[in-house]
């Protein structure tokens, strides 16, 4: 038997009065995949995540979640968990009490013990503390622990890395990776392009309620599209001369000095950049750093959303 | 894409029993320090109040039954009931029912709760029941604390009713409990208004304060000379009409109307809150419950209900003040007769019955310059009575201050042998003179003169 898609949306439209929040959205999310959702503020990300959690129903279009067609609000099948606009936690209850209450409300025996869920997100030390004193990052981690209790098959997270310190981020990323390894689909929104790039295999970019792009992140970094790269070498003057002479490479004027060494910023497509690296090696120049100034996802995001908004 | 769409094997959503939601709402409420403080206060403060009053010389005579707080332990719970109907219960319902929905708006937890419970109906029922339970716990504290303290500190003694007749300790206890039970009806109405405000006004402070504001507005209206029909159509009237339990015979008409009106308001306001809640769109980022439609749909039906109730009760109550010369005379004469017997007993005179006294009263208002009806502090009554075997009739004068609710204070104006002194000298020492000043009330509904 084929495994159903975790999410299959076709032509989803959702309006709030005169405002069109979602306009003909198509979306596929496969099991075992972390799917990123990015877009500028007001693009409709939270509305879309709300539909996936069953908080509302689309005005038109079809939405299937874990193989079940969702026709009305709060009718998403068992196995969907997550949060939008931050995890809902009660400050007067402790971390444990929050999770215990949630488990009781869900009506099923938690597949994972409360202590285990708390341990997974690294909050064991504060399990008996009231949530009132928790930082944003701790709340995010506790929200994730709440979702883990139900052994979700679709996990919906809105800005899960907000407020996380590096240790917290490591915990969260580890948990998400384990979940996807067990076949759980994760749909997360974020403004942090580096998070999306490092976590997600696929991404959907929303702009003004429409899909500007949906697919693997690798497809966004088109090899033919020039990107700005920062180039740090052992001989900046020669590197500059070689770059200037190369076809398809443009030297961007802002020159920075990094650790006492002049850094060159060039704009080039991937093939031209490959050729430049070969020439540098032949000229016996060491390449100490070569990295995009902005990530391919961020560049594509900016290009696509600006394009969409200009229509 | 490696996966394809196929038939679902996903388990259907399981319905979560309301009891789980109810338990969760109770846990949330009881975990708030504010609620804990209220519970402690409601279970301790009345006992302290009754105990303190019993130790001090002055009494809260301005409050109904306050003048008897040294005489019997059953006066304390009634003084507290009077205070609670005006202040404590509206504030308690504000803090509990008025906040039970708004707190989710404030904490931003609605979506979390909906995803977990998956049913706005069950959330509504859970919240309504949980807030009701906590309010009941608070009211129970007020009743138990004041009654226990009264009985233990002051004593389980007879209570003098509003018409001067004596209630045995057992009868007093039953009526005190019944009075508190009747006061639950307007408390429920205020709680329902609190739920409505909490749903309709969201995180706005007005949502929290609505029951208190409505209760204050009703108190102000009750002090105005409005028609009796309108007075009884207000959901807070049962906070007043329990007074009728302490007359003989009991004035059950206003009490039953007041309780019924309160219960109707409870049902309608809860229904409106439910209607607004289940229609709320929780994904709309700009919605916090305070939309114009919510206010219109919440407020207008209640205004219509007030008008409708007034129209329905008018044939029973009439549309005047309900205070007439005849009723004032009857009330003053009855109360005087009962209290005269009490004074007779204090002074060790030969007992006489009310029938033997043949008490009557002639009352005028404003020295015959105005019509003898309606509230005012310019009522003057001359009470006459007969002692068996004495040909001449005794007479005493009283100045009556009757408020628009029909309650009055009768202040003795001579002769000094009857009502001239605050104290009477008895064989057991000085005791308060029951005829010096007394409380009474005029039933606002048209009544049988023999009743």
Query: Could you count the other beta carbons within 10 Å of the beta carbon of residue B350?
Result: 8
Same domain, B329 and B430: yes
Among the three residues B273, B294, B317, which one is the final residue of a domain in this structure?
A: B317
A47 contacts B5? CB cut-off 8 A: no
A contacts of B14 (beta carbons < 8 Å): 78, 107-108
Domains of chain A by start residue, with CATH: 7-220 (3.40.50.300), 227-310 (3.30.70)
Kindly state whether residue B396 falls inside one of the protein's structural domains: yes
Tell whether B146 is covered by a domain. yes
Kindly report the length of chain B.
451
Give the range with max mean pLDDT: A148-152, B103-107, B150-154: B150-154
Helix extents (H) in chain A: 45-53, 95-106, 114-120, 136-148, 166-181, 193-199, 217-220, 236-245, 270-282, 296-310
Q: Which of B116, B117, B123, B286 to mutate to test the interface with A (most CBs of A within 10 A)?
A: B116
Of the partner residues B13, B17, B281, the one whose CB lies closest to the CB of residue A56: B281
Chain A residues lying within 8 Å of B24, measured CB to CB: 101, 104-105
In this structure, the dihedral spanned by the alpha carbons of residues B328, B330, B331 and B336, taken in order and rounded to 10 degrees, is 120
Whether residues B208 and B348 share a domain: the answer is: no
Q: Which of A202-206, B213-217, B290-294, B317-321 has the lowest mean pLDDT?
A: B290-294
Partner residue facing A74 (CB), from B11, B12, B119: B119
Residue B109 and residue A89: Cβ atoms within 8 Å? yes
Is residue B7 in a domain?
no
Asked if B297 and B334 sit in the same domain, the reply is no
Q: Is the dihedral of CA B257, B258, B259, B261 positive or negative?
A: positive
Instruction: Give the end of a domain, one of B301, B317, B333.
Output: B317
* B295 & B334 share domain: no
- Which pLDDT does position B2 carry in this prediction? 38
Do B181 and B93 share a domain, yes or no?
A: yes
| Interface membership of A139 toward B (CB under 8 Å) | no
* Closest residue on chain A to B34 (Cα): A92
Mean pLDDT per block of 10 residues along chain A (311 residues) reads 83 90 94 93 90 90 92 82 89 93 76 86 94 93 90 92 86 91 94 87 92 86 76 90 90 67 85 92 92 81 67 52
| Boundary (domain end) residue, out of B291, B317, B343 | B317
Look at chain B and report how many structural domains it folds into: 2
Closest CA to A156 of A182, A179, A131, A132: A179
- Together in a domain, B295 and B162: yes
Q: Which of A8, A30, A92 sits opposite B2 (nearest CB)?
A: A30
User: Within this chain, do residues B166 and B219 fall inside the same structural domain, yes or no?
Assistant: yes
A82 touches chain B (CB under 8 A): yes
What does residue B314 show for φ and ψ, rounded to 5 degrees?
-55, -45
Binning pLDDT at 50, 70 and 90, where does residue B12 land?
low
For CA atoms B286, B289, B293, B296, the dihedral sign is negative
Assess whether B372 and B269 both reside in one domain. no
A152 touches chain B (CB under 8 A): no
Residue entry with tokens 């802002």: A254
Quote the pLDDT of residue A61: 94
Do B222 and B309 reside in the same domain of the chain? Answer: yes
pLDDT at B449 over 60: no
Over the stretch B63-90, which tens digit does the pLDDT of each residue have? 889 989 999 999 999 999 999 999 999 9
Q: Report if residue B157 sits inside a domain.
A: yes
Residues of A with CB below 8 A from B15's CB? 107
Measured between beta carbons, the chain A residues lying within 8 angstroms of B286 are 16
Distance (Å) from the alpha carbon of A17 to chain B's nearest alpha carbon: 10
Q: Tell me: do B281 and B146 sit in the same domain.
A: yes
Q: How far apart are CA B68 and CA B432, in angstroms?
A: 9
Question: Which of chain B's residues have a Cβ under 8 Å away from the Cβ of A57?
Answer: none
pLDDT at B4: 40
CA dihedral A188, A190, A193, A195 (to 10 degrees): -60
Task: Tell me the C-alpha distance between A88 and A140, whole Å.
Answer: 10
Are B141 and B39 spatial neighbours (Cβ–Cβ below 8 Å)?
yes
ipTM: 0.78
Which residues from B are below 8 Å from A75, CB to CB?
13, 118
Q: Does the distance separating the beta carbons of A56 and B118 come in below 8 Å? A: no
CA distance A4 to chain B (A): 5
- In chain A, whose CA is at the least distance from the CA of B126? A105
Residue B414 and residue B338 share a domain: yes
Considering the domain boundaries, does residue B186 fall inside one?
Answer: yes
- In sequence order, what DSSP letters do the residues of A55-114 get, joined into one string? SS--SEEEEEETTEE--STT-PPTTEEEESSS----TTSBHHHHHHHHHHHHTS--SS-H
CB burial of residue B183 (10 Å; 0-12, 13-18, 19+): buried
C-alpha pair distances (Å), B161 with each of A20, B243, B336: 68, 9, 12
Other beta carbons within 10 Å of B169: 16
Q: What is the domain range of residue B437?
A: 325-441
Is residue B350 in a domain?
yes
- Per the domain annotation, does B451 fall within a domain? no
Whether residue B446 lies inside any domain: the answer is: no
Q: What strands, in cross-sheet order, belong to the sheet with A68-69?
A: A19-29, A7-16, A60-65, A68-69
**Tokens 């995540």 appear where?**
A49
- Closest-CA distance of chain A to residue B2, Å: 8
Give me the pLDDT at residue B138, please: 98
* Contact yes or no for A16 and B281 at CB 8 A: yes
Q: Are residues B295 and B377 in the same domain?
A: no
Does A85 touch chain B if contact means CB atoms closer than 8 Å?
A: yes
Task: Let me know: does B373 contact B400? Beta carbons within 8 Å.
Answer: no
């Amino acid at each position: 038997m084929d495994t159903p898609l975790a999410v299959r949306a076709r032509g989803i439209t959702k309006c709030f009065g005169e405002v069109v929040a979602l306009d003909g959205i198509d979306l596929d999310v496969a099991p075992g995949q972390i799917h990123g959702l990015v877009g500028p503020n007001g693009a409709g990300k939270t509305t879309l995540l709300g539909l996936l959690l069953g908080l509302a129903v689309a005005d038109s279009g079809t939405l299937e979640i874990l193989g079940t067609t969702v026709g009305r609000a709060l009718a998403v099948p068992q196995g969907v968990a997550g949060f939008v606009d931050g995890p809902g936690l009660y400050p007067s209850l402790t971390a444990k009490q929050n999770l215990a209450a949630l488990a009781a409300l869900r009506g099923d025996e938690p597949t994972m013990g409360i202590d285990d869920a708390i341990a997974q997100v690294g909050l064991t030390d504060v399990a008996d503390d009231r949530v009132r004193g928790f930082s944003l990052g701790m709340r995010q981690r506790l929200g994730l622990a709440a979702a883990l209790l139900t052994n979700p098959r679709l996990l919906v997270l809105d800005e899960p890395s907000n407020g996380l310190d590096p240790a917290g981020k490591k915990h969260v990323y580890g948990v998400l990776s384990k979940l996807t390894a067990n076949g759980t689909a994760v749909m997360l929104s974020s403004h942090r392009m580096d998070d999306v790039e490092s976590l997600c295999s696929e991404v959907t970019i929303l702009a003004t309620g429409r899909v500007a792009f949906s697919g693997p992140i690798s497809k966004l970094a088109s090899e033919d599209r020039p990107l700005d790269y920062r180039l740090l070498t052992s001989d900046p003057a020669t590197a500059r001369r070689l770059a200037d002479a190369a076809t398809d490479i443009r030297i961007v004027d802002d020159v920075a000095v990094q650790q006492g060494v002049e850094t060159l910023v060039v704009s080039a497509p991937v093939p031209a950049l490959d050729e430049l690296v070969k020439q540098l090696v032949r000229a016996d120049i060491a390449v100490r750093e070569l990295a995009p100034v902005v990530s391919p996802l961020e560049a594509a995001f900016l290009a696509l959303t600006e394009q969409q908004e200009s229509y | 894409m490696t996966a394809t769409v196929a038939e679902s094997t996903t388990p259907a959503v399981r319905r979560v029993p309301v009891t789980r939601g109810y338990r969760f709402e109770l846990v949330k409420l009881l975990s708030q320090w504010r609620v804990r403080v209220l519970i402690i206060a409601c279970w301790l403060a009345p006992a302290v109040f009754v105990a303190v009053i019993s130790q001090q010389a002055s009494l809260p005579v301005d409050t109904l039954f306050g003048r008897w707080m040294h005489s019997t332990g059953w006066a304390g719970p009634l003084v507290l009931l009077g205070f609670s109907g005006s202040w404590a219960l509206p504030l308690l319902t504000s803090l509990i029912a008025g906040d039970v929905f708004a707190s989710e708006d404030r904490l931003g937890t609605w979506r979390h709760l909906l995803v977990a419970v998956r049913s706005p109906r069950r959330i509504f029922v859970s919240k309504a029941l949980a807030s009701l339970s906590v309010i009941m716990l608070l009211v129970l504290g007020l009743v138990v604390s004041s009654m226990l303290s009264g009985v233990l500190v002051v004593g389980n003694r007879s209570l003098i009713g509003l018409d001067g007749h004596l209630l045995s300790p057992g009868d007093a206890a039953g009526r005190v409990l019944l009075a508190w039970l009747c006061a639950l009806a307007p408390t429920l109405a205020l709680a329902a208004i609190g739920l409505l405000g909490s749903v309709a006004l969201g995180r706005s402070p007005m949502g929290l304060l609505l029951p208190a504001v409505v209760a204050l507005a009703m108190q102000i209206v009750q002090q105005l000379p409005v028609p009796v029909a309108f007075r009884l159509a207000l959901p807070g009237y049962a906070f007043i009409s329990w007074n009728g339990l302490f007359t003989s015979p009991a004035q059950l008409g206003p009490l039953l109307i007041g309780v019924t009106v309160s219960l109707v308001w409870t049902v309608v306001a809860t229904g409106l809150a439910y209607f607004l809640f289940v229609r709320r769109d929780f994904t709309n980022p700009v919605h916090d419950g305070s939309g114009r439609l919510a206010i219109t749909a919440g407020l207008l039906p209640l205004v219509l209900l007030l008008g409708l109730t007034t129209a329905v009760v008018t044939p029973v109550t009439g549309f005047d003040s309900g205070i007439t010369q005849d009723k004032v005379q009857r009330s003053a004469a009855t109360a005087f007769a009962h209290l005269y017997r009490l004074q007779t007993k204090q002074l060790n005179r030969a007992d006489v019955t009310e029938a033997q006294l043949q008490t009557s009263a002639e009352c005028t208002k404003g020295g015959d310059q105005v019509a003898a009806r309606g509230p005012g502090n310019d009522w003057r009554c001359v009470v006459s009575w007969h002692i068996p075997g004495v040909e001449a009739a005794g007479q005493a004068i009283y100045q009556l201050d009757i408020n628009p609710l029909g309650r009055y204070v009768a202040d003795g104006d001579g002769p000094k042998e009857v009502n001239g002194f605050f104290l009477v000298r008895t064989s057991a020492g000085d005791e308060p003179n029951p005829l010096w000043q007394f409380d009474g009330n005029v039933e606002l509904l048209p009544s049988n003169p023999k009743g």
